Amino acid sequence: MRAETQTSYLIAGLGNPGAQYRQTRHNAGFMVLDRLAARLGVKFSRLESKALVTKADYQGSRLVLVKPHTFMNLSGQPVGSLSRYYKVPLEQLLVVYDEVDLPLGTLRIRPGGGSAGHKGITSIIERLGSQDFPRLRLGVSRPPGRMEAADYVLQEFAASEKELLNVALEAAVDAILVFVSEGLEAAMNKFNGAA
């Protein structure tokens, strides 16, 4: 009976599947989800709806953790179908992804909005038919010089950035857990701009 009364949250981290992308800027969402799974003592071991999925309980809520394996531009397919399958309301869906318009280490939590050109978010908005879902953006900083953002986000983080990245990933996990336990407003107040 308890499972039926639990509130479900779906936490989706965006990235690209494959070892060659594992440490790239565009995979910041996957990195956060891996840290979150480790913190909650679970592992990604199941493939559902073209995504790696695991589940955990946290303070009376059921968390469904999702890493789409469709490549970034098609992230909406698994996020849309899994949020419907698990009957997760939009306000309890949190999407975690990289943001070139924020300095490395900066977190920004918002209740909704447009995609700002992020193709993974564009795909999710199209699939859900709404842009009213919370998201957590992790700053990966702007590309140097005239480099295209699309090329830059497929590069790995520099060795000099690893320490700040590590702090930001841990802060992002903390922010997700506050979102689940205390709500979106509390997470925004505590973590926007943090790291």
Helix (H, G, I), strand (E, B) or coil at 110: strand
Token pair 């953006």 in the structure block, residue: 137
C-alpha–C-alpha distance, residues 105 and 41, integer Å: 25
Q: β-pairing, 51-58 with 61-68?
A: antiparallel
Q: What's the first-to-final CA gap in the chain, in angstroms?
A: 40
**Active-site option among 26, 62, 69, 127:** 26
61: nearest Cα among 38, 34, 30, 40: 40
- The encoded tokens of residue 63 equal 């968390």
Q: How many CB atoms lie within 10 A of CB 87?
A: 9
Instruction: Please report, for residues 49, 57, 163, 169, 178, the alpha-carbon distance to residue 174 in angstroms, rounded to integers and kept in the order given.
Output: 27, 15, 17, 9, 6
Packed helices 162-182 and 28-40: angle between N→C axes, nearest 10 degrees:
60
118 is catalytic: no
Which residues are designated catalytic? 26
